[in-house]
Amino acid sequence: MEVRVLNALPTVGRPEKDYLLVHTCSDPEDDTVTLATIERVTDKTVETTRMATRVRTLIERQPMSPDAALELATSYAERKQIPVVYADATTDDRHTQA
């Protein structure tokens, strides 16, 4: 299976119901270290009228280059038949703790 890698965050009207998100940010204690988080997001219809989103964190804030994180996510997506990997290689404040 070929996995599409998109260097952007998913939009609200995205067609994919199963995808990976790759976030990277600088370590707040050492800006020479990059931390990576990989999440699997699945959207499912519940009770035929509502959409439920499930986010499962695969790795969180692990020291890893953006390229290594993307390679790991792409490999996982191929094994699990996940069609898309969204990559955000900029600082992500959701994973930076002050």
Whether residue 22 is contained in a domain is answered as yes
Whether residue 65 is contained in a domain is answered as yes
pLDDT of residue 12: 76
Number of domains the chain is built from: 1
**List of E strands, 4-83:** 4-6, 18-27, 30-46, 50-63
Whether residue 49 is contained in a domain is answered as no
Strand 18-27's sheet: what is its strand order?
Answer: 4-6, 84-88, 18-27, 30-46, 50-63
Domain that holds residue 17: 4-42+61-95
Predicted TM-score (pTM) of this structure: 0.82
Q: Where are the alpha helices (DSSP H) in 1-98?
A: 66-80
pLDDT of residue 95: 37
- Counting as low any pLDDT under 70, the low residues of the chain are 46-49, 89-98
Name the residue type at position 73: A
- Residue 94 DSSP SS3: helix
